[in-house]
Each structure stands twice: as structure tokens, then as C-alpha cells.
Amino acid sequence: MRQWIERLADSADLQGEAFPGQSVVELLGDRRVLIEHHGGVTEYSREKIVLRMKFGFLCVCGGCLELAKMDAAQLVITGRIDGVNLIRRR
């Protein structure tokens, strides 16, 4: 079903639109990252925060990182963001 929806979005040129339950990652400058529909934190330090996602893991690296907000639907990381890396499950 999910692949069918993704193919439909591609053919309708809706790649930028989020579907219900789909993970959304927004980088706001170099000081804030907003993540929706995460699977929880797997690693946490002031330099690196790793989150479980449906498709793998999301690694946020930088300095003075902290979880400014976290609930079941949304997570906000603040600090100096040096990089955001997607690690896909195989």
C-alpha cells in the first residue's frame, strides 16, 4: 500500500507533500531541527543525537545539542547543527 501511495505521489508530482504518518524533517537554519513521526531516541550526547525512523535512523551531529521538545509525534533538537544524516535500513 505504501509503495502504491508513493508511486501515485510521484506520478502526480506531489513529492514535496507529506502523507499521514510519513516522517518529516525540517532544518531551521543551523540551530534547530524539527522531526515529526519519529520512533524514539537511540543515542544521545551533546555532539550527536540518533533517532529511530520507519526507514532507518536519523543522525544529527553538532555541538551543545539538546532535546528542546519531545513527545510521541514531534521532536525538536536545538544547538549548533553541523550535519543531518539519513541511515537507511537494508
Q: Name the pTM for this structure.
A: 0.78
pLDDT exceeds cutoff 80 at 20 = no
Q: Please answer whether residues 68 and 55 qualify as being in contact, where contact means their C-beta atoms are separated by less than 8 angstroms.
A: no
**Tens digits of residue pLDDT in 44-54:** 999 999 999 98
CB 39 within 8 A of CB 53: yes
Q: Domains for the chain: give ranges and CATH numbers.
A: 19-88 (2.60.40.2000)
Q: Reading across the β-sheet that carries 41-44, which strands appear in turn?
A: 24-28, 32-36, 74-88, 56-70, 48-53, 41-44
Give me the pLDDT at residue 7, please: 61
